[in-house]
Amino acid sequence: MEKINATITGVGGYIPDYILNNDELSRMVDTTDEWIMSRVGIKERHILQEEGLGTSYMARKAVKQLLQKTGTDPLDVEALIVATTTPDYKVPSTSSIVIGRTGMTNAYAIDLQAACCGFLFAMDQAACMIQSGRYKKVIVCCAEKMSSIVDYTDRSTCALFGDGAAAVLVEPTTEEVGWTDSILRTDGLGLPFLCVKAGGSVCPPSHYSIDRRMNYLHQEGRTVFKYAVTYMSDVSAQIAERNGLNNETLNWVLPHQANIRIIEAVANRLEIPMEKVLVNIQRYGNTSAATLPLALWDFEKQLKKGDSIILTAFGAGFTYGAALLKWDYNAK
């Protein structure tokens, strides 16, 4: 029996229309375009402003585009995994709402929370499902309304994040392409340094928590930066080494789009020139779980069948990992 590989056969995306650029941000908090660009490399970010719309709205936009681009009947999709840190509600799942709005009623739906590593973790789950032989069509969708948990009075974090969504279709193939290898880890050390302190079962919403802005994202930037550089660089190097990849044989590196200095550090560790690194942080900022699939969507036409891509990410938890993806198609 031929080996079944799990491969990405299409990608869809959605970015909100409203753009919050650094100049406008500098009128909200004490910051400047020069300061933001020099430290994180972000010029602008997209924000979902419309009242009453949440993460599922962007997710279903991305999924609908994916279905249309790949010519996939919604009823043929067997599973939907939505990776998000900003669900519409505590209950029900965001993925169940997406199912209801896209007509994929033969699929089961689950939410996955791995912060900025959501795409890597969800893709590994989808790949296992496909490789088992039990599933033929699985959609992984990463969607984030980060603006809903960002404190726009906190100059240290409000410049970093944006909203967006992207989705990929994962299918079986017997060709030597697809989700080839991965190293995924969680160290359990990250709670004090990157979290939303209130709103969960430990500290339910209250006047106390809201008055103290505990329902917004808290980040100790220097500590997070240090861990991100170390972990992303280490696992990327491990993936490259055990797959025999170097500057000559590796086509692309796709790091989580959190900070241009982290991206450059990963490239430096792999001894890969920046021309081979996929970067769109300047336009979208950090969209958490959505950064990696949004970049695949953005750069789809540059990717060629057989290209070797190392993806790497780091997020709250701390979660981190790297994966080798061999691209499956040439975009039309």
Could you report the per-residue pLDDT of 239-294, keeping only the tens digit for each?
A: 999 999 999 999 999 999 999 999 999 999 999 999 999 999 999 999 999 999 99
Q: What are phi and psi of 264, to 5 degrees?
A: -65, -35
What pLDDT score was predicted for residue 132? 97
What pLDDT score was predicted for residue 46? 98
Looking at 46, 116, 158, 259, which residue is catalytic?
116
Residues in Cβ contact with 164 at an 8 Å cutoff, skipping those fewer than 6 apart: 13, 14, 15, 16, 46, 58, 143, 144, 284, 287, 290, 294
Where the chain has pLDDT below 70, the residues are: 1
What pLDDT score was predicted for residue 310? 98
Torsion, Cα of 11, 16, 20, 22 (10° steps): 10
What pLDDT score was predicted for residue 2? 86
pTM of the model: 0.97
What pLDDT score was predicted for residue 51? 95
Could you report the per-residue pLDDT of 142-179, keeping only the tens digit for each?
A: 999 999 999 999 999 999 999 999 999 999 999 999 99
Closest to 148 (Cα-Cα) out of 58, 208, 227, 221: 58
Looking at 5, 22, 158, 256, which residue is catalytic?
256
CATH 3.40.47.10 residue ranges of the chain are 5-177, 180-326
> Would you say domain 5-177 falls under CATH 3.40.47.10?
yes
Residues in Cβ contact with 133 at an 8 Å cutoff, skipping those fewer than 6 apart: 4, 172
Looking at 5, 22, 259, 286, which residue is catalytic?
286
From the CB of residue 304, how many other CB atoms can be counted at a distance below 10 Å? 12
Is 218 in the active site?
no
Whether 48 contacts 72, CB under 8 Å: no
Is 246 in the active site?
no
Buried b (16+ CB within 10 A) or exposed e, 98-122: bbeebebeebebebbbbbbbbbbbb
Chain centre distance of CA 81: 13
Is 116 in the active site?
yes
Task: Mention the CATH class of domain 180-326.
Answer: alpha beta
What pLDDT score was predicted for residue 332? 82
